[in-house]
A and B are shown apart, each in its own frame.
Chain A
Amino acid sequence: MYRSFFPRDMLAEMDRLQRDMQQAFDLAPTIRGFGSNGFPALNVGATPQAVEIYAFAPGVDPATLEVNLERGLLTIAGERKSVLPAAEAKAAVHINERFEGAFRRMLTLPDDADPEAVEARLRDGVLRITIRRRASAQPRRISVQ
Protein backbone atom coordinates (compact mmCIF):
# COMPACT_ATOMS: atom_id res chain seq x y z
CA MET A 1 0.00 0.00 0.00
CA TYR A 2 2.69 2.43 1.02
CA ARG A 3 6.26 2.66 0.05
CA SER A 4 8.55 2.40 2.99
CA PHE A 5 10.39 5.63 3.64
CA PHE A 6 13.66 3.78 4.21
CA PRO A 7 13.35 0.83 1.83
CA ARG A 8 16.60 -0.81 2.74
CA ASP A 9 16.48 -0.32 6.48
CA MET A 10 16.83 -3.85 7.85
CA LEU A 11 15.51 -3.01 11.31
CA ALA A 12 12.46 -1.35 9.80
CA GLU A 13 11.87 -4.37 7.59
CA MET A 14 11.95 -6.68 10.61
CA ASP A 15 9.63 -4.32 12.41
CA ARG A 16 7.27 -4.43 9.47
CA LEU A 17 7.31 -8.23 9.47
CA GLN A 18 6.40 -8.27 13.13
CA ARG A 19 3.62 -5.75 12.54
CA ASP A 20 2.24 -7.75 9.62
CA MET A 21 2.09 -10.80 11.88
CA GLN A 22 0.28 -8.83 14.54
CA GLN A 23 -2.15 -7.41 12.02
CA ALA A 24 -2.97 -10.88 10.77
CA PHE A 25 -4.33 -11.71 14.23
CA ASP A 26 -6.07 -8.40 14.85
CA LEU A 27 -9.71 -9.04 14.04
CA ALA A 28 -10.93 -5.50 14.72
CA PRO A 29 -8.35 -2.93 13.61
CA THR A 30 -8.97 0.82 13.80
CA ILE A 31 -11.08 2.26 10.98
CA ARG A 32 -8.07 4.19 9.60
CA GLY A 33 -6.11 1.03 9.05
CA PHE A 34 -2.67 0.44 10.40
CA GLY A 35 -1.19 3.78 9.50
CA SER A 36 2.49 3.22 9.19
CA ASN A 37 5.25 3.69 6.68
CA GLY A 38 3.62 6.39 4.63
CA PHE A 39 5.14 9.60 3.40
CA PRO A 40 5.96 11.69 5.30
CA ALA A 41 7.27 9.39 8.03
CA LEU A 42 5.95 10.49 11.42
CA ASN A 43 7.36 10.48 14.92
CA VAL A 44 4.91 11.38 17.67
CA GLY A 45 5.71 12.18 21.26
CA ALA A 46 4.39 14.17 24.16
CA THR A 47 5.67 16.21 27.08
CA PRO A 48 3.41 17.22 30.00
CA GLN A 49 2.88 20.58 28.24
CA ALA A 50 2.59 19.71 24.57
CA VAL A 51 2.15 17.07 21.89
CA GLU A 52 5.06 17.03 19.44
CA ILE A 53 4.77 15.65 15.91
CA TYR A 54 7.75 15.37 13.59
CA ALA A 55 6.94 14.79 9.92
CA PHE A 56 9.96 13.87 7.78
CA ALA A 57 9.11 15.58 4.50
CA PRO A 58 12.37 16.41 2.70
CA GLY A 59 12.14 18.23 -0.61
CA VAL A 60 8.51 19.23 -0.20
CA ASP A 61 7.76 22.70 -1.52
CA PRO A 62 6.54 24.69 1.53
CA ALA A 63 3.91 26.32 -0.69
CA THR A 64 2.18 22.97 -1.27
CA LEU A 65 2.37 21.92 2.37
CA GLU A 66 -0.90 22.07 4.22
CA VAL A 67 -1.51 21.34 7.89
CA ASN A 68 -5.10 21.24 9.08
CA LEU A 69 -6.64 20.58 12.46
CA GLU A 70 -10.30 19.78 12.55
CA ARG A 71 -12.25 18.12 15.34
CA GLY A 72 -9.15 16.69 16.93
CA LEU A 73 -7.89 15.25 13.64
CA LEU A 74 -4.61 16.52 12.29
CA THR A 75 -4.02 16.30 8.55
CA ILE A 76 -0.67 16.81 6.85
CA ALA A 77 -0.91 17.08 3.07
CA GLY A 78 1.30 18.27 0.24
CA GLU A 79 3.10 17.27 -2.87
CA ARG A 80 6.61 16.33 -3.74
CA LYS A 81 7.56 16.80 -7.34
CA SER A 82 9.39 14.12 -9.21
CA VAL A 83 13.02 14.79 -10.09
CA LEU A 84 13.03 12.14 -12.77
CA PRO A 85 13.59 13.27 -16.35
CA ALA A 86 10.74 13.41 -18.83
CA ALA A 87 10.27 10.35 -21.02
CA GLU A 88 11.69 12.08 -24.09
CA ALA A 89 14.90 13.15 -22.35
CA LYS A 90 17.97 11.11 -23.16
CA ALA A 91 18.51 9.98 -19.59
CA ALA A 92 18.48 6.65 -17.78
CA VAL A 93 17.01 6.13 -14.32
CA HIS A 94 19.24 3.68 -12.46
CA ILE A 95 17.73 3.84 -8.97
CA ASN A 96 14.30 5.16 -8.04
CA GLU A 97 13.47 4.78 -4.35
CA ARG A 98 12.27 8.23 -3.37
CA PHE A 99 8.62 9.04 -2.89
CA GLU A 100 6.98 11.31 -5.44
CA GLY A 101 3.52 12.79 -5.85
CA ALA A 102 0.77 13.99 -3.57
CA PHE A 103 0.48 12.74 0.01
CA ARG A 104 -1.95 13.02 2.89
CA ARG A 105 -1.58 11.62 6.37
CA MET A 106 -3.96 11.98 9.28
CA LEU A 107 -3.71 11.34 12.95
CA THR A 108 -6.00 11.67 15.92
CA LEU A 109 -4.86 13.99 18.67
CA PRO A 110 -5.43 13.34 22.35
CA ASP A 111 -8.51 15.01 23.87
CA ASP A 112 -6.50 17.52 25.87
CA ALA A 113 -4.73 19.00 22.81
CA ASP A 114 -5.57 22.69 22.44
CA PRO A 115 -6.51 23.49 18.78
CA GLU A 116 -5.90 27.19 19.47
CA ALA A 117 -2.22 26.74 20.38
CA VAL A 118 -0.57 25.04 17.42
CA GLU A 119 2.79 25.86 15.93
CA ALA A 120 4.30 24.36 12.78
CA ARG A 121 7.89 24.88 11.65
CA LEU A 122 9.72 23.49 8.65
CA ARG A 123 13.46 23.14 8.83
CA ASP A 124 15.82 20.98 6.76
CA GLY A 125 12.87 18.99 5.46
CA VAL A 126 11.42 18.16 8.88
CA LEU A 127 8.04 19.62 9.76
CA ARG A 128 7.66 19.95 13.51
CA ILE A 129 4.17 20.53 14.86
CA THR A 130 3.75 21.47 18.51
CA ILE A 131 0.25 21.43 19.98
CA ARG A 132 -0.08 22.70 23.54
CA ARG A 133 -2.14 20.68 25.97
CA ARG A 134 -4.85 22.45 27.91
CA ALA A 135 -3.74 23.78 31.27
CA SER A 136 -6.50 21.85 33.03
CA ALA A 137 -4.94 18.60 31.87
CA GLN A 138 -1.45 19.41 33.12
CA PRO A 139 -0.36 17.76 36.33
CA ARG A 140 -0.49 19.99 39.34
CA ARG A 141 0.14 19.52 42.94
CA ILE A 142 -2.76 20.03 45.30
CA SER A 143 -1.74 21.60 48.52
CA VAL A 144 -3.07 20.03 51.70
CA GLN A 145 -4.64 22.49 54.08
Chain B
Amino acid sequence: MSNDIQTQRAGGPGAPEHADLKQAAPRYGNAALTPPVDVVEDAGGITLYADLPGVSRENLNLHVEAETLTIEAESGLTVPDGLKTSHTEVGLGRFRRVFTLSKELDTEKVSAELAQGVLTLRIPKAEHAKPRRIDIQVA
Protein backbone atom coordinates (compact mmCIF):
# COMPACT_ATOMS: atom_id res chain seq x y z
CA MET B 1 0.00 0.00 0.00
CA SER B 2 1.35 3.36 -0.91
CA ASN B 3 0.07 6.84 -0.30
CA ASP B 4 0.82 9.87 -2.37
CA ILE B 5 0.73 12.87 -0.15
CA GLN B 6 -0.48 16.09 -1.62
CA THR B 7 2.08 18.81 -1.44
CA GLN B 8 0.50 22.19 -1.34
CA ARG B 9 1.87 25.66 -1.64
CA ALA B 10 1.25 27.77 1.40
CA GLY B 11 -0.61 31.07 1.05
CA GLY B 12 0.89 34.52 1.18
CA PRO B 13 2.16 36.30 4.29
CA GLY B 14 -0.28 36.45 7.14
CA ALA B 15 -1.59 32.92 6.66
CA PRO B 16 -2.93 31.46 9.92
CA GLU B 17 0.14 29.31 10.42
CA HIS B 18 2.19 32.36 11.30
CA ALA B 19 -0.38 33.83 13.64
CA ASP B 20 0.68 31.81 16.67
CA LEU B 21 4.37 32.50 16.12
CA LYS B 22 5.95 32.77 19.49
CA GLN B 23 8.27 35.73 19.80
CA ALA B 24 10.49 33.91 22.27
CA ALA B 25 13.98 35.13 23.07
CA PRO B 26 16.56 33.53 20.78
CA ARG B 27 17.82 30.32 22.33
CA TYR B 28 21.50 30.82 21.62
CA GLY B 29 21.90 34.58 21.98
CA ASN B 30 23.23 35.99 18.73
CA ALA B 31 24.46 32.72 17.26
CA ALA B 32 23.51 32.31 13.62
CA LEU B 33 23.93 29.81 10.84
CA THR B 34 25.99 30.68 7.80
CA PRO B 35 23.70 30.18 4.82
CA PRO B 36 25.24 28.46 1.79
CA VAL B 37 25.62 30.77 -1.22
CA ASP B 38 26.43 30.72 -4.90
CA VAL B 39 28.10 33.80 -6.39
CA VAL B 40 28.26 34.27 -10.15
CA GLU B 41 29.82 37.21 -11.98
CA ASP B 42 29.06 38.22 -15.53
CA ALA B 43 29.85 41.32 -17.54
CA GLY B 44 26.97 43.31 -16.02
CA GLY B 45 27.47 42.51 -12.38
CA ILE B 46 27.39 39.92 -9.63
CA THR B 47 24.48 37.64 -8.72
CA LEU B 48 24.33 36.05 -5.28
CA TYR B 49 21.99 33.20 -4.35
CA ALA B 50 21.55 32.31 -0.67
CA ASP B 51 19.55 29.51 0.93
CA LEU B 52 17.37 30.94 3.67
CA PRO B 53 14.74 28.28 4.40
CA GLY B 54 11.79 29.42 6.48
CA VAL B 55 12.54 33.11 5.99
CA SER B 56 9.78 35.40 4.80
CA ARG B 57 10.30 38.87 3.38
CA GLU B 58 9.60 40.73 6.63
CA ASN B 59 12.26 38.72 8.50
CA LEU B 60 15.02 39.43 6.00
CA ASN B 61 17.43 42.26 6.54
CA LEU B 62 19.87 43.37 3.86
CA HIS B 63 22.36 46.03 4.68
CA VAL B 64 25.02 47.73 2.60
CA GLU B 65 27.40 50.02 4.38
CA ALA B 66 30.53 51.33 2.71
CA GLU B 67 31.81 48.16 1.05
CA THR B 68 30.21 45.63 3.40
CA LEU B 69 27.12 43.66 2.53
CA THR B 70 25.33 42.03 5.46
CA ILE B 71 22.58 39.45 5.08
CA GLU B 72 20.61 38.81 8.25
CA ALA B 73 17.48 36.73 8.44
CA GLU B 74 15.31 35.01 10.94
CA SER B 75 13.24 31.92 10.33
CA GLY B 76 9.51 32.29 10.90
CA LEU B 77 9.06 28.60 11.52
CA THR B 78 6.30 27.71 13.94
CA VAL B 79 6.51 24.67 16.15
CA PRO B 80 3.47 23.15 17.88
CA ASP B 81 3.31 23.25 21.67
CA GLY B 82 4.87 20.33 23.46
CA LEU B 83 7.03 19.26 20.53
CA LYS B 84 9.85 16.95 21.59
CA THR B 85 12.59 16.96 18.99
CA SER B 86 14.30 13.66 18.32
CA HIS B 87 16.58 14.62 15.44
CA THR B 88 17.91 18.07 14.58
CA GLU B 89 20.00 19.10 11.60
CA VAL B 90 19.07 22.78 11.58
CA GLY B 91 19.55 23.83 15.17
CA LEU B 92 19.19 27.59 14.87
CA GLY B 93 16.56 29.85 13.36
CA ARG B 94 18.84 32.73 12.49
CA PHE B 95 21.08 33.32 9.50
CA ARG B 96 23.87 35.82 9.04
CA ARG B 97 26.56 36.31 6.46
CA VAL B 98 28.81 39.23 5.60
CA PHE B 99 30.62 39.95 2.34
CA THR B 100 33.11 42.61 1.35
CA LEU B 101 32.18 44.20 -1.97
CA SER B 102 34.60 45.80 -4.34
CA LYS B 103 34.50 49.38 -5.55
CA GLU B 104 33.43 48.76 -9.14
CA LEU B 105 30.07 47.49 -7.90
CA ASP B 106 27.17 49.92 -7.77
CA THR B 107 25.70 49.48 -4.28
CA GLU B 108 22.96 52.01 -5.04
CA LYS B 109 21.35 49.67 -7.53
CA VAL B 110 21.24 46.40 -5.64
CA SER B 111 18.06 44.47 -6.27
CA ALA B 112 16.83 41.56 -4.18
CA GLU B 113 14.20 38.90 -4.59
CA LEU B 114 13.13 36.22 -2.11
CA ALA B 115 11.22 33.19 -3.37
CA GLN B 116 10.71 29.78 -1.76
CA GLY B 117 13.43 30.47 0.80
CA VAL B 118 16.07 31.48 -1.76
CA LEU B 119 17.42 35.00 -1.86
CA THR B 120 18.61 36.28 -5.24
CA LEU B 121 20.69 39.42 -5.01
CA ARG B 122 21.87 41.30 -8.07
CA ILE B 123 24.64 43.84 -7.70
CA PRO B 124 25.33 45.62 -11.00
CA LYS B 125 28.65 47.11 -11.90
CA ALA B 126 28.97 50.85 -11.98
CA GLU B 127 28.74 52.39 -15.46
CA HIS B 128 32.41 53.35 -15.57
CA ALA B 129 33.38 49.79 -14.66
CA LYS B 130 31.38 48.08 -17.40
CA PRO B 131 33.61 46.23 -19.83
CA ARG B 132 34.58 47.93 -23.02
CA ARG B 133 36.64 46.70 -25.82
CA ILE B 134 39.90 48.46 -26.23
CA ASP B 135 40.86 49.23 -29.79
CA ILE B 136 44.26 48.20 -30.83
CA GLN B 137 46.06 50.75 -32.93
CA VAL B 138 48.06 49.29 -35.69
CA ALA B 139 51.13 51.39 -36.38
Q: Which residues of A are in contact with B by a Cβ distance under 8 Å?
A: 5-9, 11-12, 36-37, 41-48, 50, 52, 54, 56-60, 62, 65-71, 83-85, 89-99, 115-116, 118-127, 129
Contacts and interface: CB of A to CB of B under 8 A. Distances in A.
A56 B90 contact: yes
A68 B53 contact: no
B31 to A, nearest CB: 8
Interface in B1-43: 1-10, 15, 17, 31, 33-43
B85 A47 contact: no
A94 B53 contact: no
Nearest to A56: B53
Interface in B53-90: 53-56, 75-77, 79-90
B118 interface: yes
A95 B38 contact: yes
B37 to A, nearest CB: 6
Nearest to A46: B84
B112 to A, nearest CB: 15
Interface residues of B, number: 53
Contact of B117 (A50, A59, A97, A99): A59
A118 B5 contact: yes
B83 A58 contact: no
A47 B7 contact: no
Contacts of B5: 67-69, 118-120, 129
Contacts of A46: 83-84, 86
Nearest to B51: A58
Nearest to A94: B39
A126 to B, nearest CB: 5
A45 B1 CA distance: 25
A135 to B, nearest CB: 17
Contacts of A89: 42
Given A6-B34, A126-B53, A59 B118 contact: yes
Nearest to A123: B10
A43 B38 contact: no
